[in-house]
């Protein structure tokens, strides 16, 4: 108890050095725990880009390719699915709901997605969040479009504006090769930000995709005079022939496995069905190496913080030779001298840990909504994870062990100082 009091008073006596050392360790800890939280948050956010969807179904090909074009709007499908096949699975007794996607067109670098009402009703991300509107409503007419929030913000569109979609994928800089200029769409609503790829697409009805291609032949636009005017097109007259992929929710998770097998062996059309969570995990495993690199860097930061503490204690010893000699003179044994220095080091590292954790919480509470809004990264505010506690324990133990170096030096000094004439 006496040693503890002495250690406390000694640290208090050197308040500036103590504060700087604690801040240095605290910042290192905050970085380490912060990176751990960001890592967990990034993995969670990535895994929850799409939720409550049991299967994604598309033409047979690569599972990653299907995930990339259906969820991230990257790349393109090798084949489409006939609408007849889609309806077969949509009406399957084990299926609760489906969301069809028809891809292939774009608008100034953003993908256009043909879908139906089920997208607005059933699509979920980040566990149970659904699609909601910032303004306006979902498209009801063939030539209405709902905009993802990034699309509206980047292009400055609002409800009521006219949008011309491009055949194929156009560059962000300008128009594509062929525009569907004779059939413009009216913005019916803007979706609320989801911080997922949903924000970067335009949503029209499946009939809208058919409508803009109604007078096209073999991928070519109509000859002059052969165009079908937009005014003559209604939702009821549109026939949907094919879609690109669809999301599927089964009535029970047990049915999911059976459905996946049935879809993959469907004899009418070569299909594949992937479980999105598993494919996302596979993808994360590949891009997740970056998180290991980040952890390595933060470990080095911790080492630098601890070395700073060692240097601080070690260099202060010279100033404290008189203090040590007095302690020896009044009867403090070597164990007491060593305990004092080790305890000081331990207290510094504990204070650093406390400061670091507090910093993480303050920063998380302050910046969590901003980070989520701008980067789509949901950093959880929670007690340190098991890994976090291991890090904290390791730093505390490292602080304790490092204390032995100056302690041993102090003990040696007190011996030589005791024999010397001058201090």
Residue number with CB closer to another protein (142 or 259) = 259
| Least distance (Å) between residue 42 CB and another protein | 11
C-alpha pair distances (Å), 77 with each of 242, 280, 284: 13, 18, 21
H/E run at residue 392:
helix 386-402
| Least distance (Å) between residue 276 CB and another protein | 7
Establish if 287 lies at the interface with another protein (CB under 8 A).
yes
Segment 102-161, which members bind another protein (CB under 8 A)? 127
- Applying CB under 8 A, among 104, 139, 276, 399 the residue interacting with another protein is 276
Cβ-based neighbours of 164, under 8 Å, separated by 6 or more: 107, 179, 180, 181, 184, 185
CA angle 382, 125, 373 (to 5 degrees): 65
Only segment of 99-107, 246-254, 390-398, 403-411 that touches another protein (CB under 8 A): 246-254
Q: How far is CA 49 from the centre of its chain?
A: 9
| Least distance (Å) between residue 47 CB and another protein | 8
Q: How many whole angstroms separate alpha carbon 374 and alpha carbon 376?
A: 6
Q: What would the two tokens of residue 300 be?
A: 């080095």
| Least distance (Å) between residue 64 CB and another protein | 5
The three-state DSSP-derived secondary structure of 175-202 is: CCCEECCCCCEEEEEEECCCCCHHHHEE
Q: Are strands 95-107 and 245-250 parallel, antiparallel or unpaired?
A: antiparallel
DSSP-derived 3-state class of residue 300: helix
| Least distance (Å) between residue 313 CB and another protein | 42
Handedness of CA 291, 23, 356, 306 (dihedral sign): positive
Q: Are 161 and 152 in contact (CB under 8 A)?
A: no
Interface with another protein: number of residues (CB under 8 A): 31
Establish if 64 lies at the interface with another protein (CB under 8 A).
yes
Establish if 277 lies at the interface with another protein (CB under 8 A).
yes
Q: What would the two tokens of residue 65 be?
A: 């390719």
Q: How many whole angstroms separate alpha carbon 86 and alpha carbon 97?
A: 12
Residue number with CB closer to another protein (76 or 238) = 76
Establish if 375 lies at the interface with another protein (CB under 8 A).
yes
- Applying CB under 8 A, among 20, 27, 68, 405 the residue interacting with another protein is 68
| Least distance (Å) between residue 201 CB and another protein | 12
Establish if 286 lies at the interface with another protein (CB under 8 A).
yes
Establish if 62 lies at the interface with another protein (CB under 8 A).
yes
Residue number with CB closer to another protein (92 or 200) = 200
Residue number with CB closer to another protein (299 or 375) = 375
| Least distance (Å) between residue 116 CB and another protein | 24
- Applying CB under 8 A, among 31, 32, 54, 126 the residue interacting with another protein is 54
Establish if 65 lies at the interface with another protein (CB under 8 A).
yes
- Applying CB under 8 A, among 18, 37, 45, 52 the residue interacting with another protein is 52
Q: How many whole angstroms separate alpha carbon 82 and alpha carbon 79?
A: 10
CA angle 210, 211, 215 (to 5 degrees): 95
Q: How many whole angstroms separate alpha carbon 395 and alpha carbon 390?
A: 9
Q: How many whole angstroms separate alpha carbon 201 and alpha carbon 113?
A: 7
Residue number with CB closer to another protein (82 or 149) = 149
| Least distance (Å) between residue 65 CB and another protein | 6
Residue 122's nearest CA partner among 51, 188, 69, 187 is 51
| Least distance (Å) between residue 52 CB and another protein | 6
Q: x-or-dash pattern for another protein, window 331-350, by CB under 8 A?
A: --------------------
Q: x-or-dash pattern for another protein, window 170-209, by CB under 8 A?
A: ------------------------------x---------
**Got the DSSP string for 23-79?**
HHHHHHHHHHHHHHHHHHHHHHHHHTSSBS--EEEEESS-HHHHHIIIII--S--SS
| Least distance (Å) between residue 340 CB and another protein | 45
Which residue ranges make up the site for another protein (CB under 8 A)? 51-52, 54, 62-65, 67-68, 72, 74-75, 127, 200, 252-254, 256-257, 261, 275-278, 281-283, 285-287, 375
């Amino acid at each position: 108890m006496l040693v503890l009091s002495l250690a406390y008073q000694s640290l208090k006596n050197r308040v500036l050095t103590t504060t700087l050392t604690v801040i240095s360790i605290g910042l290192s800890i905050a970085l380490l725990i912060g990176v751990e939280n960001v890592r967990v948050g990034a993995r969670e956010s990535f895994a929850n880009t799409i939720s409550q969807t049991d299967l994604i179904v598309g033409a047979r090909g690569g599972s990653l390719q299907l995930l990339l074009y259906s969820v991230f709007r990257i790349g393109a499908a090798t084949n489409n699915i006939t609408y007849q096949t889609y309806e077969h699975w949509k009406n399957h007794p084990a299926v609760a709901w489906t969301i069809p996607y028809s891809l292939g067109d774009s608008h100034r670098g953003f993908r256009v997605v043909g879908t139906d009402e089920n997208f607005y009703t059933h699509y979920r991300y980040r566990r149970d969040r659904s699609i909601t509107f910032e303004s306006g409503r979902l498209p009801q007419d063939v030539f209405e479009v709902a905009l993802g929030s990034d699309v509206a913000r980047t292009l400055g569109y609002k409800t009521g504006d006219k949008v011309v979609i491009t055949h194929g994928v156009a560059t962000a800089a300008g128009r594509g090769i062929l525009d569907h200029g004779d059939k413009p769409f009216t913005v019916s609503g803007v979706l609320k930000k989801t911080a997922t790829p949903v924000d970067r697409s335009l949503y029209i009805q499946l009939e809208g995709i058919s409508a803009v291609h109604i007078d096209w032949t073999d991928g070519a636009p109509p000859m002059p005079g052969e165009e079908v005017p937009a005014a003559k097109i209604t939702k009821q007259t549109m026939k949907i022939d094919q879609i690109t992929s669809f999301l599927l929710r089964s009535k029970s998770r047990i049915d999911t496995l059976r459905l996946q097998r049935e879809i993959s062996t469907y004899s009418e059309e070569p299909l594949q069905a992937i479980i999105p969570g598993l494919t996302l995990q596979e993808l994360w495993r590949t891009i997740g190496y970056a998180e290991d690199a980040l952890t390595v860097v933060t470990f080095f930061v911790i080492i630098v913080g601890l070395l700073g503490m060692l240097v601080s204690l070690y260099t202060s010893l010279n100033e404290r030779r008189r203090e040590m000699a007095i302690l020896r003179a009044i009867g403090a044994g070597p164990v007491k001298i060593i305990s004092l220095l080790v305890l000081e080091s331990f207290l510094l590292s504990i204070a650093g840990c406390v400061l670091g954790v507090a910093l993480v919480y303050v920063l998380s509470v302050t910046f969590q909504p901003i980070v989520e809004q701008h980067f789509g990264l949901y950093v959880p505010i929670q007690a340190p994870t098991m890994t976090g506690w291991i890090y904290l324990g390791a730093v505390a133990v490292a602080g304790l062990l490092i204390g032995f170096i100056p302690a041993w030096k102090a003990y040696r000094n007190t011996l030589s100082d005791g024999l010397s004439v001058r201090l």
